[in-house]
Amino acid sequence: MLDVRRVRTELEVLKAGLARKGADPTELDRVAELDRRRRELGDRRDSVRARINAISKEVGRLRRSGDDEEAEARMAESRSFGDEEKALAAEADEVGAELRDLLLRIPNVPADDAPDGAGEHDNVVVRHGGPDPDAYGEHQRVPHWDVGASLGILDLERGAKVAGSMFPMYRGAGARLLRALTSWALDRHADAFEEVRPPSLVRSATMVASGQLPKFADDAYHLERDDLWAIPTAEVPLTSLGAGEILAEGDLPVRLTAATPCYRREAGSAGRDTRGLIRVHEFDKVEILAYTTPEQAPAMHAELLERAEALVVELGLAYRIIDICTGDLGQSHARSFDIEVYAPGSELWLEVSSVSWFGDYQARRADLRYRRDADARIDHVHTLNGSALAWPRIWAALVEAGRQPDATVVLPEVLAPWLGGATTIGSPR
């Protein structure tokens, strides 16, 4: 969430930032009013509390002097002030809760260097890499759902039978490919990132910390009986790993990686790109995430993007990197780059990674802090994360781009150690 102290001192700057993102900047006026009201109630409560303490001392003096009648009168006055203190405290808590709820719903402001734009059509293509998308042959322009069905490696019908539509089922070499991709990516990050296997179900507070709640409740799977949520990404539990703790500056940056299933209702995507693996309710993903100081954040953002891009390069896929404009940035995001790969059979650019910097927005929600070495001041960390990578669309692009004229699929040699040395799916016809 935004720092309420900045609302007091930089109101117009923050309003301008929200306007760049297409959000309603006038909500900050309500934040400022609630903050003023809460502080005013707190001051009045403290004043009444001080009066009660003064009366208590006076009652003690009167008791010692034997003036019990006056002491009782002063005690009655103290009880009256006590009722007023409780009423002020309750009102302050109520205003504080309304203020927090509003702050949880207001998006992060974009970074100064994020490109301006109203929506996804204003995103900026930074660079292309890999093969020329126009150079793929006709044998590669078969959609992965047809390739997968013909080779027996993707069974969408039975996936729908056991779980419903948009729950894919991988079989045989298709399932092994998914497992190989996960192991390969985790090993690529093992040089600098601690591997974590977090829970796949989390508390509501954990969802709030990363910005998933309250805004994206309709897109998440909620187990009401236990008040637990199926994670939409490993970012959610990893962000809260250090929640409520104070880290030492010397321990930063903290680098974490995790492979988890991810669950998303895709409530706002009905009828949009729902064939095959392009948009699914459950998928596997490897996440890389970091806590940093503000000074470390730019270099870490570049490192996460470099790692995600390097994986796509190793897989030999055509790709492009997109600088996300202000109007297309997510709720919690200050700056983001997407990596898209080209799937020749689907004839689509598919997002396979989003590498993002959140400033201290998530850390304030999660109470994730560190102590500065120089002056022992306690401040909030910055959080950053990236998909490295999300597998359904990578799987689709590999199967389409790797399809041969004889209808077999050849996979990148880089995956051979995790595939038992075999890199061909199917038998020549």
Give yes or no for a contact between 362 and 211, defined as CB atoms under 8 angstroms apart.
yes
Active-site residue, from 20, 255, 264, 320: 264
DSSP string for 196-213: ----SEEEHHHHHHHT-T
Taking the C-alpha atoms of residue 308 and residue 294, their distance in angstroms, rounded to an integer, is 22
Rg of the chain on CA atoms, in Å: 28
Task: For tokens 């969408």, name the residue.
Answer: 156
Q: Chain-centre distance of CA 36, in angstroms? A: 31
Q: How many residues does the chain have?
A: 429
Q: Which residues contact 134 (CB under 8 A, 6 or more apart)?
A: none
Paired tokens of 213? 């709640």
Per annotation, catalytic residue among 20, 38, 188, 279 = 279
CA pair distance 341, 324, nearest whole angstrom: 16
Q: Which of 176, 307, 369, 393 is catalytic?
A: 393
The token duo for 99 is 């203020």
Active site residue 235: no
The end-to-end CA distance of the chain, in Å, is 58
- Closest by CA position to 23, among listed 341, 326, 427, 340: 326
Task: Select which of 210, 336, 346, 354 is catalytic.
Answer: 354
Q: What CA–CA distance (Å, rounded) separates 392 from 379?
A: 38
275 is catalytic: no
Q: What DSSP string describes 46-90?
A: HHHHHHHHHHHHHHHHHHHTT-HHHHHHHHHHHHHHHHHHHHHHH
Task: Tell me the C-alpha distance between 184 and 391, whole Å.
Answer: 12
Confirm whether 351 is a catalytic residue. yes
- The C-alpha atoms of residue 105 and residue 183 are separated, in whole angstroms, by 37
Q: Is 393 a catalytic residue?
A: yes
Helix (H, G, I), strand (E, B) or coil at 143: coil
Q: Is 264 a catalytic residue?
A: yes
Q: Which two tokens stand for residue 338?
A: 């997407």
Q: Any idea which residues carry the catalytic annotation?
A: 264, 279, 351, 354, 393
